[in-house]
């Protein structure tokens, strides 16, 4: 019997798993996919919003502001990348400028640092800002992270402290017994006293397994992006248009922690909660709407498109509460943007405001909530590189030529707790295939390393999902 | 810091040919740096015949062609440092490389020859909408899986783009028992060599759909199906023209791009058309002492031209090392109407050797007139049948013409066939 089973290993579930791993509890984290962070956490704008955007008196506002402040320490503790880029909200004309005042007022009251810039002042910092931009509200403490890196690091810490993680484990049915639940999955049954529903776009479906009349409805809403190669330096800050009720945060230009640029997203309701495909219409929308704030977009440097699904909800706020009719079943649902930025605070909120009421939370001895930063050659000085290679020559064997990733880094990410066992898993953790050749060059090499290290045939290595075979058959 | 007279980055056909030329011309202290475990570059995975017709007057496979140069290099005691990746090239011609044995090393070269090859355009760069399952490969990637590692990537295949690697893979996979349903090409003409269209598609009854492209990908885990649509003259999909193919494999052969980031970081000026460095008649880039050749300069269809071009860039490096290059005015060479690009892009007024231009046309020409002008003066005029973007054209500028240059040079191609 588990004390707690968390359904969903996105940023919400993994952050909670790490925080719970310090207590004497028997915790399991399950996910239907073949790796940590394969849902919304894998495909988003990667921004730690500072918290001026959510409406007053919402959980979103509270947890966003708090969560954003926690990230600096979390990323330090977990050895994760975080880059403070600052954000510009760019207004075009008087009507939009008025809207900036509302945001500034919220920022003021919430203790968020902000600055005003004229259009021309902003263009001095951002040469590709459109001429139409007349005024900018700047939030210099806004940061970007590598979302799945944080989720994976949290999972790693959780596992090290005794949390059990089960991938390829889909919650299909839940039965409520007198004092516990049974979670029925394709991978066996899990008995648990408490359930945390952190299943993103799946949250309504999972909730319906215990409640016929859920208070919220989730509709997947797709966001599509272009990714530019880091060979071109397009923006320094995150550039937002002025947010609107219909279009949300709008189409952005976002510098990533590794120097790439994201352009997007659009916002498009879809029926299928698995449909992370891109579309001509969606990408055209991004192109058309970006012209409002940006100019000289170097589309010739596009190396990839992708799409993510927001768990768009009939309820405008996060839903983080014990289900009214199902004691012991806790929803962490409707976690739309700024779900990433809020995640550390969401986790604390669940523990402090909900779980503490039910469970004795005593700290374990010998827990370790931090993770040493995995050695990344790209982050090192020449002297440090030389030293790293002296210690382990495999760090001198470069496998990915675009991102300059060594075999040493790849082996490390495979053999860590919660390690990579797929080509995409390696790509998520250490980046081969993220560059301009998109793995055309290194994928065969990564595949062979995975086969060797996992002691399987190359034909058994998958891209991502467990049936996503890359090689069809041996040809000898 | 170790010092060399010349360092060649890349040990493919370009790098090997450059090394052999340098040695033959008396430059002894040289080093070739190659990232892979053995020299030869992309040739090592091209096990089909069709290499070396011009150089050796016989049809060799890629690896045998490479072997000829590797042997020459060995005979001349060329140092080839394999399993070594150049991380950075600096404008002062220091080179930072990394390997397992020596770690992170910086060396200095009097002259550097970039022979880094190219990479294939990926799905992201061509924006094919839809899901992102396994089963989508660049043609060269599938070629490597098959020819080097010994694995078939799939059995029901469609190919997007009519580049040569895709065509060769259509034949190769058919011979290995796969069914190739067709090749879709966005443009109204093929991007592959005519001989490859004939030998790889027509001989196997594989349809070539010109003015078509893949407009949607289906499949969550592994590719299940693709949508192919016709495109109009603006290259936009024509509604209602969709066809569907239930395939497990999509190969992309949609273009090769010079691997230019070392050059870019060194501050070398680039030609946006070729996506490689701009070079002069000595194949020298905008940074004195740094030269470029092969697919890292512009993408070639025939290896013979790569070897030849690399030899010329090495000759340029020798002139540089012997201090016989004069600082002089350089005329620019422009791609005029009908021409996509011309290499070299600069000719020095004091150039004392013939310069051969390589260029590609922008579209198919039945009966073309090629004109090379300097200012208003026509230097050369030539009629030629059947020009196409997939076939590189050549034109020579003689030393005599160079002496009489009146201004920048432009090459134009126009259609002159009757009734058109
Ligand atoms: C386009 C886009 C842009 C965004 N930009 C930002 C941003 O810049 N900043 C920000 O703060 N937020 C942003 N967000 C929001 C943020 O990405 C999400 O709020 C956050 O990632 C949600 O995390 P999660 O863990 O709740 O959900 P997810 O990451 O979706 O995780 C849910 C997990 O549950 C699993 N699951 C579902 N059903 C089941 C089942 N039945 N059994 C087992 N497992 C199941 C899924 O496989 C998945 O792994 C953006 C979102 C999108 C889509
Ligand atoms: C798939 C394919 C099929 C072809 N078919 C034919 C044919 O049938 N007939 C024909 O005549 N021609 C053919 N060609 C053309 C011709 O063979 C090639 O264009 C030619 O071999 C390219 O030589 P290269 O040296 O410029 O590039 P490459 O062979 O790619 O060599 C570049 C080398 O540089 C190394 N390198 C790159 N970056 C670094 C770095 N930073 N540090 C160290 N090393 C580095 C690479 O590992 C590589 O070995 C074909 C080309 C391709 C791609």
CA distance B3 to B384: 49
CA distance A361 to B168: 65
How far does the CA of residue A397 sit from the closest CA of chain B (Å)?
6
- The token pair that represents B243 in the structure block: 């066809």
Counting the structural domains of chain B, the total is 3
Listed residues B254, B280, B297: the one ending a domain? B254
CA distance A442 to A433: 7
CA distance B167 to A240: 45
Judge if B237 and B275 occupy the same domain.
no
Domain limits at B403? 328-420
| B256 chain-A contacts, CB cut-off 8 A | none
Of B143, B238, B162, the C-alpha closest to B201 is B162
Q: Using a CB–CB cutoff of 8 Å, tell me whether A280 touches chain B.
A: yes
Of B366, B357, B353, the C-alpha closest to B392 is B357
Judge if A108 and A162 occupy the same domain.
no
Listed residues B278, B306, B325: the one ending a domain? B325
Judge if A444 and A383 occupy the same domain.
yes
Residue A247 has pLDDT above 80, yes or no: no
Q: Using a CB–CB cutoff of 8 Å, tell me whether A299 touches chain B.
A: no
Domain limits at A442? 377-460
Q: Using a CB–CB cutoff of 8 Å, tell me whether B222 touches chain A.
A: yes
**Tens digit of pLDDT at every position of chain B (420 positions):** 999 999 999 999 999 999 999 999 999 999 999 999 999 999 999 999 889 988 888 999 999 999 999 999 999 999 999 999 999 999 999 999 999 999 999 999 999 999 999 999 998 888 899 999 999 999 999 999 999 999 999 999 999 999 899 999 999 999 999 999 999 999 999 888 899 999 999 999 999 999 999 999 999 999 999 999 999 999 999 999 999 999 999 999 999 999 999 999 999 999 999 999 999 999 999 999 999 999 999 999 899 999 999 999 999 999 999 999 988 899 999 999 999 999 999 999 999 999 999 999 999 999 999 999 999 999 999 999 999 999 999 999 999 999 999 899 999 999 998 654
Chain B residue closest to A422 (CA)? B134
- The token pair that represents B248 in the structure block: 């497990």
Listed residues B254, B288, B312: the one ending a domain? B254
Question: Residue A99: helix, strand or coil by DSSP?
Answer: helix
Judge if B265 and B384 occupy the same domain.
no
- The token pair that represents B191 in the structure block: 């991007």
Distance A10 CA to ligand 1 centre (A): 6
Judge if A361 and A402 occupy the same domain.
no
> How many Cβ atoms from other residues are within 10 Å of residue A392's Cβ?
16
| φ, ψ at B182 (rounded to 5°) | 165, 170
A9: in domain: yes
Query: Which residue's CA is minimally distant from atom 45 of ligand 2?
Result: B10
Q: Tell me the CATH number at A64.
A: 3.50.50.60
Judge if B338 and B358 occupy the same domain.
yes
A436: in domain: yes
User: Please, which pLDDT band fits residue A208 given cuts at 50, 70 and 90?
Assistant: very high
Q: Tell me the CATH number at A423.
A: 1.10.10.1100
The length of chain B, given as a count of residues: 420
- The token pair that represents A350 in the structure block: 């669940």
Given a contact cutoff of 8 angstroms between Cβ atoms, the answer to whether A441 and A424 are in contact is no
Of B195, B201, B5, B14, the C-alpha closest to B107 is B5
Q: Tell me the CATH number at B375.
A: 2.60.40
* Interface touch A475/B150, C-beta < 8 Å: yes
Task: Suggest the residue from A233, A273, A280 to mutate for an interface test with chain B (most B CBs closer than 10 A).
Answer: A280
| B141 chain-A contacts, CB cut-off 8 A | 439-441, 443-444
The length of chain A, given as a count of residues: 476
How far does the CA of residue A163 sit from the closest CA of chain B (Å)?
28
Q: Tell me the CATH number at A136.
A: 3.30.9.10
Judge if A247 and A384 occupy the same domain.
no
Judge if B127 and B80 occupy the same domain.
no
DSSP A107-141: HHHHT---EEEEHHHHHHH-TTB-TT--EEEEETT
Judge if A100 and A63 occupy the same domain.
no
Judge if A318 and A352 occupy the same domain.
yes
How far does the CA of residue B397 sit from the closest CA of chain A (Å)?
33
Judge if A55 and A158 occupy the same domain.
yes
| A393 chain-B contacts, CB cut-off 8 A | 100-101
| A387 chain-B contacts, CB cut-off 8 A | 103
The string of pLDDT tens digits covering residues A266-302 is 998 888 888 888 999 999 999 999 999 999 999 999 9
A443: in domain: yes
A182: in domain: yes
The pairing of beta strand A261-264 with beta strand A218-228: antiparallel
Judge if B246 and B260 occupy the same domain.
no
Judge if B129 and B250 occupy the same domain.
yes
The string of pLDDT tens digits covering residues A152-161 is 999 999 999 9
Peptide bond preceding B344 in cis form (omega within 30 of 0): yes
CA distance A40 to A10: 7
Calculate Rg over the CA atoms of chain A: 22
Q: Which class for A324: exposed (0-12), middle (13-18), buried (19 or more C-beta within 10 A)?
A: exposed
Judge if A58 and A161 occupy the same domain.
yes
Judge if B15 and B114 occupy the same domain.
yes
Judge if B213 and B234 occupy the same domain.
yes
A58: in domain: yes
Judge if A208 and A335 occupy the same domain.
yes
* Residue numbers of A annotated as active site: 49
CA distance A3 to A305: 41
The string of pLDDT tens digits covering residues B91-113 is 999 999 999 999 999 999 999 99
Judge if A74 and A149 occupy the same domain.
yes
Which of A340, A341, A425 has most ligand 1 atoms within 8 Å of its beta carbon, as the pocket-test mutant? A340
- The token pair that represents B90 in the structure block: 């600096």
Query: Which residue's CA is minimally distant from atom 27 of ligand 1?
Result: A200
Helix (H) or strand (E) holding A17: helix A11-20
Counting the structural domains of chain A, the total is 3
Position in ligand 1 atom list of the atom nearest CA A39: 30
Q: Using a CB–CB cutoff of 8 Å, tell me whether B152 touches chain A.
A: yes
Judge if B307 and B391 occupy the same domain.
no
* Interface touch B153/A396, C-beta < 8 Å: no
Judge if B217 and B270 occupy the same domain.
no
State the virtual CA torsion across B57, B62, B65, B68 in degrees, nearest 10. Answer: -160
Q: Tell me the CATH number at B92.
A: 3.50.50.60
DSSP A37-61: S-SGGGSS--EE--SSSSPTTSHHH
Q: Using a CB–CB cutoff of 8 Å, tell me whether B125 touches chain A.
A: yes
Judge if B261 and B113 occupy the same domain.
yes
Judge if B114 and B132 occupy the same domain.
no
Instruction: In chain A, count H helices and then E strands.
Output: 13, 23
Given a contact cutoff of 8 angstroms between Cβ atoms, the answer to whether B179 and B211 are in contact is no
Q: Which class for A417: exposed (0-12), middle (13-18), buried (19 or more C-beta within 10 A)?
A: middle
A303: in domain: no
Instruction: In chain B, count H helices and then E strands.
Output: 10, 28
CA distance B365 to B148: 38
Judge if A254 and A391 occupy the same domain.
no
Judge if A42 and A74 occupy the same domain.
yes
């Amino acid at each position: 019997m588990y004390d707690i089973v968390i359904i969903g290993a996105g940023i919400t579930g993994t952050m909670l798993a790490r925080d719970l791993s310090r207590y004497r509890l028997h915790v399991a984290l399950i996910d239907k996919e073949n790796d940590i962070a394969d849902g919304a956490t894998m495909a988003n704008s990667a921004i730690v919003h500072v918290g001026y955007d959510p409406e007053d008196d919402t959980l979103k506002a509270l947890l966003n502001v708090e969560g954003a402040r926690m990230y600096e320490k979390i990323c330090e503790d977990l050895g994760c990348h975080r880059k403070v880029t600052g954000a510009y909200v760019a207004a075009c004309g008087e009507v939009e400028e008025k809207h900036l005042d509302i945001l500034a007022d919220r920022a003021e009251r919430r203790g968020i640092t902000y600055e005003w810039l004229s259009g021309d002042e902003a263009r001095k910092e951002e040469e590709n800002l459109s001429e139409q931009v007349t005024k900018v509200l700047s939030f210099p403490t806004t940061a970007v992270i590598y979302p799945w890196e944080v989720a994976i690091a949290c999972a790693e810490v959780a596992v090290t402290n005794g949390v059990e993680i089960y991938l390829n484990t889909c919650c299909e049915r839940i039965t409520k017994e007198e004092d516990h639940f049974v979670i029925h999955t394709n991978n066996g049954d899990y008995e648990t006293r408490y359930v945390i529903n952190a299943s993103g776009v799946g949250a309504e479906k999972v909730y319906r397994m215990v409640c016929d009349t859920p208070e919220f409805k989730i509709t997947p809403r797709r966001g599509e992006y272009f990714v530019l190669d880091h060979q071109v330096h397009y923006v320094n800050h995150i550039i937002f248009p002025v947010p609107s009720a219909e279009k949300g945060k709008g189409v952005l230009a976002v510098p990533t922690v590794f120097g790439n640029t994201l352009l997007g997203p659009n916002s498009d309701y879809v029926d299928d909660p698995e449909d992370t495909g891109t579309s001509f219409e969606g990408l055209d929308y991004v192109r058309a709407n970006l012209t409002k704030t940006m100019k000289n977009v170097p589309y010739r440097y596009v190396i990839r498109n992708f799409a993510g699904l927001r768990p768009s909800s009939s309820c405008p706020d996060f839903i983080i509460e014990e289900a009214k009719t199902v004691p012991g079943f806790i929803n962490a649902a409707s976690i739309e943007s700024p779900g990433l930025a809020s995640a550390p605070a969401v986790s604390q909120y669940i523990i402090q405001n909900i779980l503490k009421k039910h469970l004795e939370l005593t700290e374990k001895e010998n827990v370790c909530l931090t993770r040493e930063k995995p050695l990344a050659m790209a982050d090192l000085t020449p002297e440090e590189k030389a030293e790293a290679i002296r210690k382990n020559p495999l760090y001198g064997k470069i496998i990915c030529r675009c991102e300059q990733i060594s075999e040493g880094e790849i082996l490390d990410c495979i053999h860590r707790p919660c390690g990579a066992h797929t080509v995409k898993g390696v790509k998520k953790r250490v980046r081969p295939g993220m560059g301009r050749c998109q793995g055309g060059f290194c994928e065969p090499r990564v595949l062979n390393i995975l086969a060797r290290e996992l002691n399987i045939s190359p034909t058994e290595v998958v891209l991502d999902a467990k049936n996503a075979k890359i090689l069809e058959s041996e040809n000898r | 810091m170790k010092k060399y007279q010349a360092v060649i980055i890349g040990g493919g056909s370009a790098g090997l040919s450059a090394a052999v030329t340098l040695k033959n011309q008396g430059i002894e202290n040289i080093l070739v740096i190659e990232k892979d475990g053995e020299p030869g570059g992309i040739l090592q995975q091209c096990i089909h015949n069709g290499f070396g017709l011009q150089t050796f007057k016989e049809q060799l496979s890629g690896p045998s062609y490479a072997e000829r140069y590797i042997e020459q290099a060995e005979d001349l005691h060329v140092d080839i440092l394999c399993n070594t990746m150049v991380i950075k090239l600096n404008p002062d011609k220091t080179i930072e490389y990394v390997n397992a044995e020596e770690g992170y090393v910086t060396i200095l070269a009097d002259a550097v020859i970039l022979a880094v090859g190219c990479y294939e355009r990926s799905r992201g760069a061509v924006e094919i909408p839809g899901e992102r399952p396994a089963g989508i490969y660049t043609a060269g990637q599938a070629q490597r899986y098959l020819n080097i590692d010994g694995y078939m990537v799939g059995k029901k295949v469609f190919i997007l783009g009519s580049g040569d690697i895709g065509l060769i893979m259509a034949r190769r996979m058919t011979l290995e028992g796969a069914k190739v349903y067709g090749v879709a090409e966005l443009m109204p003409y093929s991007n592959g060599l005519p001989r490859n269209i004939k030998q790889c598609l027509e001989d196997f009854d594989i349809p070539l759909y010109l003015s078509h492209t893949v407009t949607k990908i289906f499949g969550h885990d592994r590719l299940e199906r693709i949508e192919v649509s016709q495109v109009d003259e603006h290259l936009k999909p024509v509604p209602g023209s969709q066809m569907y193919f239930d395939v497990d494999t999509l190969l992309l052969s949609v273009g090769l791009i010079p691997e230019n980031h070392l050059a870019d970081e060194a501050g070398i000026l680039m030609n946006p058309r070729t996506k490689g460095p701009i070079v002069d008649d000595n194949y020298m880039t905008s940074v004195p002492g740094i030269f470029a050749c092969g697919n890292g300069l512009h993408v070639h269809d025939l290896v013979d031209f790569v070897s030849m071009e690399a030899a010329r860039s090495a000759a340029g490096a020798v002139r540089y090392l012997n201090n016989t290059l004069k600082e002089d005015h350089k005329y620019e060479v422009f791609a005029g109407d009908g021409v996509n690009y011309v290499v070299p892009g600069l000719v020095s007024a004091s150039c004392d050797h013939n310069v051969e231009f390589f260029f590609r046309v922008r579209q198919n020409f039945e009966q073309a007139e090629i004109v090379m002008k300097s200012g208003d003066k026509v230097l050369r005029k030539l009629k030629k049948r059947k020009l196409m973007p997939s076939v590189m054209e050549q034109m020579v500028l003689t030393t005599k013409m160079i002496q009489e240059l009146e201004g920048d040079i432009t090459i134009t191609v126009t259609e002159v066939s009757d009734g058109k």
